[in-house]
Amino acid sequence: MRNILIKISYDGSYFHGWQIQENAHTVQEEFQSALYKIIGEKADIKACSRTDSGVHANVFCISVKTESKITPERLKGALNHFFPLYMACLSAEEVPLDFHARYSCKGKEYVYLIHNREVRDPFLKGRALHFYHKIDVEKLNKAASYYIGTHDFTSFCTQDLRKMEDMRRTVFDAKVTREGDMVKFTVSADGFLYNMVRIMVGTLIRVQEGKLKPEDIPQILEKKDRAFAGPTAPPEGLYLNKVFY
């Protein structure tokens, strides 16, 4: 038995998230289909995270346990042969048998892109949020700095039918930068709650609109109530950017 760490990237606008669903096109379905064509067995696969419909990945990690003797380099090439054009295998490497793409993860980095120009760019449809009012990057960067540290992020989590867990997360870094018309929110943490990054972005947008002040962020965290944070930003601007092991 071998364990292979595979890193892929994909355009999330073509998928309804990672996990296989009935009547929905998912990343897992596409990945498993390509892998089976190559190794001819239903391998034990583990993903680094669950992703929502429309969310993209610059890097997404999958560990695969298999008895196949294919070399990692040949596996990489074969996956790229069978993958659709909106999905790519970046690398493949052997890892210890106890390595787990999700549970061995020490943290992740996400990027959210906001196209900040009066007129929308049709070529960015599905790949960045369009916001036509001028964004004050310095103001939003100050607001983002309050996310850094270990906090209970209940206010920044969409509540659903999933079992409640420890809502504390440690954010290593959070910043807002600009490159031309593109404003980028970059955040890294030891883990993220459901919709946490998108709610962080929605809250920053509320700060930009003057409905919240940067200094309101600590109070929102203390409330531990989703109603006090901003809206959940659309998925199209969100990218899983790095996975730390």
Q: Considering Cα of 155, then 148, then 241, then 163, what sign does the dihedral take? A: negative
What is the rounded distance in angstroms from the CA atom of residue 40 to the CA atom of residue 7?
A: 20
Q: How many CA atoms lie within 13 A of 203 on its CB side?
A: 30
**Residues with catalytic function:** 52
Q: How far apart are the first and last CA of the chain?
A: 22
Pairing of strands 56-66, 44-47: antiparallel
Which tokens belong to 201? Answer: 């972005």
**Digitized pLDDT (tens) for each residue of the chain, 245 residues in all:** 999 999 999 999 999 999 988 889 999 999 999 999 999 999 999 999 988 899 999 999 999 999 999 999 999 999 999 999 999 999 999 999 999 999 999 999 999 999 999 999 999 999 999 999 999 999 999 999 999 999 999 999 998 655 667 899 999 999 999 999 999 999 999 999 999 999 999 999 999 999 999 999 999 999 999 999 999 999 999 999 999 99
Domains of the chain, each with CATH number or no CATH: 2-95 (3.30.70.580), 107-244 (3.30.70.660)
Owner of token pair 């809250």: 203
Helix (H, G, I), strand (E, B) or coil at 221: helix
As a 3-state breakdown, the chain gives helix, strand, coil percent values, each rounded to 5, of 30, 30, 40
Determine whether 180 is exposed, middle or buried from the number of CB atoms within 10 Å of its CB (0-12, 13-18, 19+).
Answer: exposed
What is the rounded distance in angstroms from the CA atom of residue 190 to the CA atom of residue 68?
A: 33
Q: Considering Cα of 39, then 14, then 157, then 208, what sign does the dihedral take? A: positive
